[in-house]
Amino acid sequence: MKWRDRKQSTNVDDRRSSSGRGGGRGLPSIGTLMFLWPLLKPLLKSKLGLAVVGVGAAAYFFMPSIIGMGGSSKPADTKADDVQAAFIKTVHADTEKVWSNIFAQAGERYPAPELVLYRGGTDSRCGPAKAGMGPFYCPSDQKIYVDLVFFRDLKNKHGAGGDFAQAYVLAHEIGHHIQNKEGTLDKVQRAKQRVSGSDDNKLQVMVELQADCYAGVWANQAQKQFKMLEAGDIEEALTAAASIGDDRLQKQAQGFSIPHTFTHGSSKQRVEWFAKGLKSGMMRDCNTFK
């Protein structure tokens, strides 16, 4: 994918170098204070003692944020990590441009989601974000969370390498943001409250396949605007879509698949819906709920 020397999104919260759980520690518990009180009480009676308590308190509250407790360490190949971050920021800028144009054609403004890059773990309004979860969209704060380590796993564990495979993954999460803006996610959530079991899963599959289709719509429109595709790019995206199909993942994990437990769709379905959006370039062709 041609991406170098193009605009990078500034709508990014890069937390890769910060603590995996945010800043310093919270207040100590009541139990901890009661335990320490016999030791602290004599110190509070002298200036020297007060100084000792002050230094200890400063160390307690601020040292964690300095040494990065709770997060993963900086990878050895910092340069490669930064290059990958630059690529993802460029793709994010592409999605902002494409979806802004699509929304404008409908007479609406596109509220772009913020991209959060983190390492190891961080916080979101949807709960803790951890590297093992893979990229995800949080409707509550309208942000997309990405640990770049996932793309290494996508290549090494699932055989889906290449930069456009990574672009497809981000575009899929953007697709969920579009669904949120359309009200689709709320409608599906309400529908899930009226069903259970496999019917609940079927609804979620429809959500995921539509996000795949929207990723294809983005790729279609982005190619028209930026001429960024190179030989093999589409194959990379199709391979990525197939590699994270529920049937393939279940077979890798347990040797067989259980269709009624699928929540993202089969490899065949994911490839077909991405390809449909890619060919059409039109959102109206992404109705997976028919």
pLDDT band at 48 (very low <50, low <70, confident <90, very high): low
Give the residue-averaged pLDDT of 97-104: 98
Rounded Cα distance between 203 and 195, Å, is 10
CA angle 252, 255, 258 (to 5 degrees): 95
Residue 241 three-state SS: helix
Rounded Cα distance between 247 and 11, Å, is 35
Rounded Cα distance between 186 and 85, Å, is 31
The model's pLDDT over 108-164, given as tens digits with 9 standing for 90+, comes to 999 999 999 999 999 999 999 988 889 999 999 999 999 999 999 999 989 999 999
Q: What is the per-residue pLDDT for 191?
A: 94
Is pLDDT of 26 > 50?
A: no
Q: What is the per-residue pLDDT for 40?
A: 54
Q: What is the per-residue pLDDT for 20?
A: 54
**Domain limits, the chain:** 30-67, 72-286
> CA-CA distances (angstroms) from residue 77 to 74, 118, 289?
8, 16, 44
Give the residue-averaged pLDDT of 6-26: 74
Rounded Cα distance between 167 and 171, Å, is 6
Q: What is the per-residue pLDDT for 132?
A: 82
pLDDT band at 25 (very low <50, low <70, confident <90, very high): very low
Q: What is the per-residue pLDDT for 50?
A: 65
Per the listing, tokens 């795949």 go with: 212
